[in-house]
Amino acid sequence: MRKFIILAVVATSLFSCQETETKKDDFKTGYIDSAVLLEKYEKFKDEGDKLKVKYEEAGRPYEAQEKQLMAERESLQRAAQANGPAWIQQNQQRLADFEKRSQAFMQAKQQALAALEEQTNKQQDSLVKDVRKYIKEYGKKEGYDYIFLTNDASNIIYAKDGYNLTDKLLKQLNEEYKSSKEKK
C-alpha cells in the first residue's frame, strides 16, 4: 500500500511537470523600447513641437519688459557710479521702487512659466496614459501574458529581438494618429 501511494505521488508529480512545460510553450511575452517610442511616435513629436511654441509665446511678452528692466538697471548703475553716494542717497526711493518692480516682474514670469509647465506635465501624463492603454489593449487582443517596457533604468538587460514589439506598435500608433489627424 505504501509503495502504491509513493508511486501515485511520483506519477502525479511527473504529470504536473509535463503540464507546466506545455503551458510554458504557450507563454507569450514581448517588450517595448520606451526611448524609441518617445523619439519616433508622431503624436509625441507633434505635441513636443506645440509645447515649444507655447513656451516661446509665453516668454515673448516678458522679453521686452525684461530688456527694458535691464536697460533701466544699467542706467541706474551708471548714474550711481558717475554721481556717487550723494546721488544714491537722493534716489533711494527710486532705486527701491525699481527693485520692487524687478522682483514683481520676475515673480510674475516664474508663475506664468510654472503654470505652463504644470499644464505641460498634465498633457504629457495624458499622452503616456493613452499609450499605456493602447499597449494594454494590444496585449490583450494579441494574447500576450506580459509586455515589458525597457529604458535606461530598466530591469531588462537582454531580450531576443523577436520579443521586441516596439516597431510593430509604433507603426500602428503612428497610423492611428495619422488617420485621426486627417479626420480633423
pLDDT in the model for residue 167 = 92
Cβ proximity of 162 and 44 under 8 Å: no
Q: What is the pLDDT of residue 6?
A: 47
* Residues 28 and 143 sit within 8 Å (Cβ to Cβ): yes
Identify the CATH homologous superfamily for domain 26-183.
Skp domain (3.30.910.20)
Q: What is the pLDDT of residue 71?
A: 92
Predicted local confidence at residue 104, as pLDDT: 94
| CA atoms of 110 and 85, how far apart (whole Å) | 33
Q: How confident is the model at residue 16, as a pLDDT?
A: 45
Residues of the chain with pLDDT under 50: 3-22
Does the reported pTM lie above 0.85? Answer: no
Q: What was the pLDDT predicted at 126?
A: 92
Domain ranges of the chain: 26-183
Q: Which amino acid is at 51?
A: L
Residue 24 vs residues 17, 18, 20, 110: alpha-carbon distances, Å: 10, 10, 6, 56
E strand or H helix at 147? strand 146-150
Per-residue H/E/C for 41-81: CHHHHHHHHHHHHHHHHHHHHHHHHHHHHHHHHHHHHHHHH
- Confidence at residue 74, expressed as pLDDT on a 0 to 100 scale: 93
Spatial neighbors of 123 by CB under 8 A, at least 6 apart, are: 47, 51
